Structure formats: structure tokens, C-alpha cells
Amino acid sequence: MSASVGLRRVLEPAGVLPQAAWRLDASPEIAADEVRIAVKRLNLDAASFRQLSEKHGGDGAAVRAEVLEIVGTRGKMHNPVTGSGGMLIGVVEEAGSESPLGLKPGDRVATLVSLTLTPLRITDALAGWDGKSEQIPAEGTAILFGRSVVGVLPDDLAPELALAVYDVCGAPALTDRIVREYERDVTVTVLGGAGKSGSLSLAAARLAGARTTAIVRDEAEAASVREAGLADAVAIADARNPVAVAEAVGDPATITVVCVDVPGCEHGAILATAPGGTVIFFSMATSFPAAADGADGLAADVTMIIGNGYVPGHAEFAVDLLRRVPAVRRLFEARIAGH
């Protein structure tokens, strides 16, 4: 087990897994169970990009410099403030003889594990990126371990589109699973229903039989969700304001899915969920103590789940949703074109 989870790549501190490490060895030589990828594009986690962009007041050159510094220092794109990463696409350069991933040189792939644990070396100084979008054209190398998750890119989706979908593909798969655990008359509220994970979660919830409500932040987002017909109801509220969220939702939902990448959404989600219900937190900006103490303080009998980015079959599930629900595909394409 030790080898397959990448322990040999951990430089400091010793004894932790690559995600917890401060610094990884990103050198391109691979061990027998590793795979080396020629990187083509990075997709930063939304919370990470937002933090960097806000820190530098939208100065793209400064954002780019900080990303380069993080990768150079840590051997991975692991934002030390948000603790989050993102993912990448590329082409397999070399697969070790003992790699169980079934990849061969030339395969176009997306990594479905976080950049926070992926050894990464950048060789083009990110010259093709303006620092103003979470999608980064890049050249360099990345390493996959034996126990890793990777998706071969589908032929019918542009790489940028596949990457954007894969980045959040745990959300619709887990939403689907939780909806099906309840017997009937399930209602699902998605905070941040106009975003990537939000729109996929809305689509998954409806296909699993739930009645859905999207909470969005402004009229423009509300219009886009309404036009796409993505939810049975749409309401506007600041997700950080618990009272506003509870009022916008009305009757508490069976399941609340949090897809808003800003801190402070825990209490609204808890207040908006019915007793016996479930809150699924997908935002990396979620605070563990705020959620735990919040539910306690509100005497809220709700199950709170940490959104696990891995559910077996999640990548195929999300791509299938995109094919079945053209409105979701259009939202994703518009989002990518907008950058």
C-alpha cells in the first residue's frame, strides 16, 4: 500500500500522505507503478482561484507569479491558504511496467485526483495564461501513483469541457446516491445552483426523482437557471446569510447541497434542511467547526456529509448527465467561453 499512494514522493514532513505533505518530489523519472503525464492544461479549484485573484486585486500577472511560486516551492499546485488544488489534463508520456491504471503513451487523460497530491513540474512559466481564469494552458510533467483515478477524455467533448466536468464530477454522483437513500417525496435545495457543481447536482437530483430548488446570488444567475429549466424553483439569496437562505427556501428541504465556494454558508444550509435530512458540503470553503457547532447550536438533527470527490463511476456519470441534459452542457460551454 505504501508505494501505491505515493509515499516515496513525499519530501517533508516524513510519514504523511502526499496530500498532507508540504513538499513533494516532482521529478519526472517514474517508478514501476507510476505514470508520467505531459501536462496540457490545469484547472484550479474555484476557491483557490478566487482567493488568489482577490488577494492580488485581479492582477493576472501577480496571480500567475504566485501559482508558479507555489508549484516551484511545493512540487504541487496546493494553495496554502485554501488548502485546495484542482485537476489537470494531458497526454500519457510513460507508464511504468507495474502501473495498474491501464494507460499507454499517447492516451489523452484527465486526472481525477486533486492537484494537492499530484507531483507537478511546470516548464513554460505559464506563458500562455493571463492569470484571469481558473483554466491554465500549461506545459510540464505530472506524476500519477498506482492508487490514483484518471479518466480518458471522451471523443465527443472538448478537452476544456471534459476537464470542467471532471473537476466537479463527485458532486452529481454523490447527490444521486443520497437522493436514492430517501424513500420518496424528496426535495433538494442547491446553494449555488448556477455554477458547475451546482447545475450538475440539480440535474442529478431531478433525474433521481427529487423536486429541486436552486438558490442563486442574483437576477442574472436566476435568469440563466430559469432559461435552462434546470430547477423546479429558483430563488435569490446571499448564501452566507442564514436567515435569508431559510426564507428563500421556504419549507426546509430533505437534502441541501452546498456548491457556493465562499466561507460562511454552513448555517444557512443547516437551517434550510428538514429534521432527518442531509446536508452535503461540496465547497472547499466549508469550515468543519462552523458546521459541527452550528448544527449543535441550532439543535438541528441533520446528517452533514463532507463531499467526497470520489464515487465509483463518477466521471462517466457526470459526462452522461451532460449528454442527457443539453441545458447543463450549454451552461458549461457558456462558462468556458466566458473566460
Q: Give the binding site for a copy of itself (CB under 8 A).
A: 1-2, 5, 7, 15-20, 82-85, 112-114, 116-117, 147-149, 170, 240-244, 246, 264, 266-267, 271, 281, 284, 286-312
Euclidean distance between CA atoms 107 and 254, whole angstroms: 42
For residue 256, the minimal CB distance to a copy of itself (Å) is: 13
Task: For residue 310, count other CB atoms closer than 10 A to its CB.
Answer: 14
Q: How far is the CB of 59 from a copy of itself (least distance, A)?
A: 25
Q: Smallest distance, Å, CB 276 to a copy of itself?
A: 10
Task: Check: CB of residue 21 under 8 Å from CB of residue 13.
Answer: yes
Within 13 Å, how many C-alpha atoms sit on residue 196's CB side?
A: 25
Taking the complex as a whole, the smallest distance from the CB of residue 220 to a copy of itself amounts, in Å, to 23
Q: Which three cell numbers stand for residue 9?
A: 514522493
**Closer of 161 and 311 to a copy of itself (Cβ):** 311
| CB of 280 or CB of 331, closer to a copy of itself | 280
Q: Based on CB atoms, which residue is closest to a copy of itself, 133 or 287?
A: 287
Rounded Cα gap, residues 300 and 322, in angstroms: 35
What distance in Å separates the CA atoms of residue 210 and residue 206, rounded to the nearest whole number?
5
Q: Which uninterrupted H or E stretch holds 224?
A: helix 219-228
Q: Are 283 and 258 in contact (CB under 8 A)?
A: yes
- Closest CB to a copy of itself among residues 98, 301: 301
- Is the CB of 32 or the CB of 298 nearer to a copy of itself? 298
Residue 23 one-letter amino acid: R
Q: Which residues pair with 189 in a beta bridge?
A: 213, 256
- Residue closer to a copy of itself by CB (options 157, 304) is 304
Burial class for 102, CB neighbours closer than 10 Å (0-12, 13-18, 19+): exposed
- Min separation Cβ 100 and a copy of itself, Å: 11
Looking at the Cβ atoms of 198 and 294, the one nearer to a copy of itself is: 294
Query: What long-range pairs does 51-57 form, CB within 8 A, spacing at least 24?
Result: 51/79, 51/81, 51/82, 52/79, 53/131, 53/132, 55/81
Q: How far is the CB of 298 from a copy of itself (least distance, A)?
A: 6
* For a copy of itself, the closer CB: 63 or 112: 112
CA distances from 172 to 92, 295, 321 (A): 27, 24, 9
**Bridge partner residues of 142 (DSSP):** 37, 120
Rounded to whole angstroms, the Cα distance separating 101 from 306 reads: 27
Q: How far is the CB of 64 from a copy of itself (least distance, A)?
A: 23
- Name the residue nearer to a copy of itself (CB basis): 216 or 272: 272
> Least distance from C-beta 324 to a copy of itself, angstroms?
24
CB of 9 to a copy of itself, least distance (A): 12
Grid cell of 12 as nine digits: 517533508
Helix and strand element counts for the chain (H, E)? 11, 14
